[in-house]
Amino acid sequence: MTRLVLVRREQVLKGGQPLAFLIGLVFAMLIGVVLLLISGHDPLAIYGRMVEASLGSPRAWSITLNRAVPLGLAGLAVAVAGSMGLWNIGAEGQILAGAMMAAWVARLGEGWASPLLITAMLVAAVVGGALLASGPAVARAQIGVNEIITTLMLNEVALRLLQWLIHGSWKDPESRGFPLAPMLPDEARLPGLFERAHWGAVIALGVIALFGLVASRTAWGYELRVAGSSGATARYAGISLKRKITTVLILSGGIAGLAGGIELSGNADRITEGISAGYGFAGIIVAALALLRPSGVAAVALLFGAVQVGGLSIQTMGVSSSVSTILQAFILFGAIGAGVFSRYAVRRVNNDKTSSES
């Protein structure tokens, strides 16, 4: 009798992760074909519409780019924490906290010059996200409280706080009884790049590139990798794990908060309860597919932005936008499954202890 087992390869296959990502994409598309056929739709027409709406024109590219900005920053936030072996599941709430702080500054700074107001809003957004992450950071570093639980729970706290503000002191007196915050001043709008794209894309790309450079080329980044790979080695080298954990989680929250500030000043007329649209949770998938590496976050975020924009566009064809969510999930499942085989070989093991690689 024989059985199949996974045996770790001596060397990871070259190009394993990009190939795994491609396999995951193909796998998701095939699953999508089956689902669309079952529901009575033409897969080629649906996929064609998705590509056209997300990548088929400069306007489509601009919409996809705007969608990729919060996804990329949320993914980077998760990846930053992941570099220390930590999981920030609170990016959704930190995005809301960043948007709230940015909206507060916009209320205070009405009449300020646009460059000053936008800069103040984005700085405040970083502070807002960092503040929300500071509690879990200190709790994890000082007394070992699981950061997954605390960051996840604070998502609900941030949402309820935003609802309280919109229904209370921030409610627009001219909203005719509807719970709406006041419109943002024109000076709070990020300048445009092309079509509907704005400078938030440049800011996000700069932040991703900067962290990638710092993580790979500086002593701080080296200490981060050492601390993330082995706590005992870090302590032997004199690296303070408590300080690193606190710094990384607060930095992670600040990056997510920046996403909220950019989303508010780039794509919204006012702050709403749905300002994040699930970007914080989608950022976990982005980071996972990028293997928690900043170098891959931007590319994965752009793809997911295209899938989400395309998914919204097919509603006019009678197809639920949930198709895009299903595709995102199966891209992750397919890529994870394929990624396993870049690190492990399948071997057939016999009862007599002989084996052969397949």
The string of DSSP letters for 188-208 reads GSPPBSSTT-BTHHHHHHHHH
d(CA 264, CA 97): 11
Structure tokens at 153: 């729970």
Q: What percent of the chain has pLDDT over 90?
A: 48
How confident is the model over 43-52, as pLDDT tens digits? 899 889 989 9
pLDDT at 258 over 80: yes
How confident is the model over 65-116, as pLDDT tens digits? 999 999 999 999 999 999 888 999 999 999 999 999 999 999 998 889 999 9
pLDDT at 352 over 80: no
Sheet holding 2-8, edge to edge: 2-8, 344-350, 355-357
d(CA 253, CA 275): 17
Closest CA to 284 of 180, 151, 102, 127: 151
How confident is the model over 149-193, as pLDDT tens digits? 999 999 999 999 999 999 988 988 877 777 888 899 999 999 999
**Are residues 195 and 64 in contact, defined by beta-carbon separation less than 8 angstroms?**
no
d(CA 201, CA 24): 26
pTM for the whole thing?
A: 0.88
What value does the mean pLDDT of the chain take?
A: 87
Residue 259: CB atoms within 10 Å: 33
Better-predicted residue by pLDDT, 16 or 23: 23
